[in-house]
Amino acid sequence: MNLHNLFPTPVGFAELGREFTPEELFFIRELETRPNQGNTTSVNNFVLRDAALTSLRSFLEDSVGDYFKATVNPKHNVSLRITQSWCNYSEPGQFHHKHAHPNSYISGVFYVQTNPEDRIYFYRDGWQQIKFPPETWNAYNSESWWFEAYLGRLILFPSSLTHMVPEVKGEKTRISLSFNTFPVGVVGEEMDLTGLRLEA
């Protein structure tokens, strides 16, 4: 059987390709935190605006631009702007609850500190009216899929895609930097009565 992936969900990956600077690590590790569902998150919800993370922000913005060009390839002058950004801290035995990101177009998670078995799980939307237990799992019959979460890895995905982090099994606190994006520029077509100009 010849299968074609129609309307696939794009999940993008990029690698930082360098060590974190002492300034970056100090800033991220010393952020004030508040309780979250299963773990803690930074009180600062705009961490990428800090001068200590200027280089990281550039890498993340470039990666978002590459993802947007490869998946959407917009006709008009429009780009994605990083809106809110924050850090998540999951101690051994903690987890990150299942959720999606409203009021965002593309979201990203970037790994600052990980354990060998750390993963992120994504979930298929919708209810299965008829369910067949598969002999083997694949991208067509799975209700969830996981990817490795390791140091310096960036994962980009549609903000509506539900995801979660299972219980941390390693000895180190898992630290991730997450962010949302929103379009800036010309969206839609005025002739189709869908035109919208979004200012920064």
The per-residue pLDDT for 177 is: 98
In a domain, 155, yes or no: yes
Residue 171 counted as domain residue: yes
By residue count, the chain amounts to 200
User: Alpha-carbon distance 185 to 167, whole Å?
Assistant: 40
Residue 130 CB contacts under 8 Å (≥ 6 apart), including other chains? none
CA torsion 142→139→180→17, rounded to 10°? 130
26 occurs within a structural domain: yes
CA-to-CA separations, 58 to 52, 53, 61, 180, 196, in angstroms, rounded: 12, 9, 5, 15, 27
C-alpha to C-alpha distances, 7 to 46, 71, 93, 105, 140, nearest whole angstrom: 33, 11, 37, 17, 12
What is d(CA 177, CA 173) in angstroms, rounded to the nearest whole number?
A: 13
Instruction: Name the residue range of residue 162's domain.
Output: 12-125+148-198
- Whether residue 45 lies inside any domain: the answer is yes
* Under-50 pLDDT residues of the chain: none
Q: Note the pLDDT of residue 82.
A: 98
The answer to whether residue 135 is domain-embedded is no
DSSP 159: T
| pLDDT the model gives residue 96 | 94
Assigned domain for 134 exists:
no
So what's the pLDDT on residue 200? 73
Closest C-alpha to 156, from 76, 77, 63: 63
- Grouping H, G, I as helix, E, B as strand and the rest as coil, residue 164 is strand
CATH number of the domain that residue 116 is part of? 2.60.120.620
Residue 6 lies in a domain: no
For residue 162, CA distances in Å to 29, 34, 82, 120, 123 come to 27, 22, 19, 11, 5
Distance, CA of 44 to CA of 7 (rounded, Å): 36
Question: Is 136 part of a structural domain of the chain?
Answer: no
What is the value of pTM for the model shown?
Answer: 0.94
Task: Count up the domains in the chain and report the number.
Answer: 1
Do the beta carbons of residue 118 and residue 72 sit within 8 Å?
A: no
